[in-house]
Amino acid sequence: MTPFSRRLCGLCLPPAAAACLDATLTLVGQSAEYWAGDYASVNEISPTFQHLLAYHPLAFLAGFLGWMFVFVAMILLLPRTLALASSVAVTVGHTAGAAIWLLYRFHYGYQACQALFVLAALALAIGIDRVWPAERKTDDSIGARLPHALRWLLIAVLSGIAVYLFLWPRP
């Protein structure tokens, strides 16, 4: 397995899986009124995705795919420790998002949340320990092959997008 494929599989698959589950539960959690075309009746905590869902479910899907591109690109470009931190942060964030849906929408929501946390931890542990070997200390990112200024420009732009989408307050 190449360093690129190890990073892609080991560090990108766990957050991508958590994000896909979160997005799926978000769509499943919309009301009958929403699916009948009343997009103003959207039920979503994230201001960014609430706005997209209020526009149309396909806008949500496009935004979600764009977000997945952003965090995967960041994980692939960042140096080793920051890539690992980003992978864990996105996995934890989307696991929490999915857990909120499970907790309040399903009969055995508490138990489902606990199982989800175990699965997320297991996915991260396998990804870090088995696929992306934790003992390697070299920078195996695709960013290491880019010119230094271009690498950090791309990282800054992608980080700015992430901050705007999830950390910037909305009125």
Beta strands in 2-161 (DSSP E): none
> Coil, strand or helix: which one is 108?
coil
113-159 pLDDT tens trace: 899 999 999 999 998 887 777 555 666 677 778 888 998 999 999 99
Q: What is the reported pLDDT for 33?
A: 97
Query: Do residues 166 and 48 make contact, with C-beta atoms less than 8 angstroms apart?
Result: yes
46-90 pLDDT tens trace: 999 999 999 999 999 999 999 999 999 999 999 888 999 999 999
Answer yes or no: is pLDDT of 167 > 90.
Answer: no
Average pLDDT, integer, range 30-45: 96
Characterise 11 by phi-psi region: left (phi > 0), alpha (psi -120 to 50), beta (else): alpha
- Distant-in-sequence contacts of 35-41, Cβ < 8 A, 24+ apart: none
CA–CA distance, 128 with 130 (Å, rounded to integer): 6
- Token code pair at residue 128: 């870090």
Q: What is the reported pLDDT for 46?
A: 93
- Token code pair at residue 31: 């009301």
pTM above the 0.75 mark?
yes
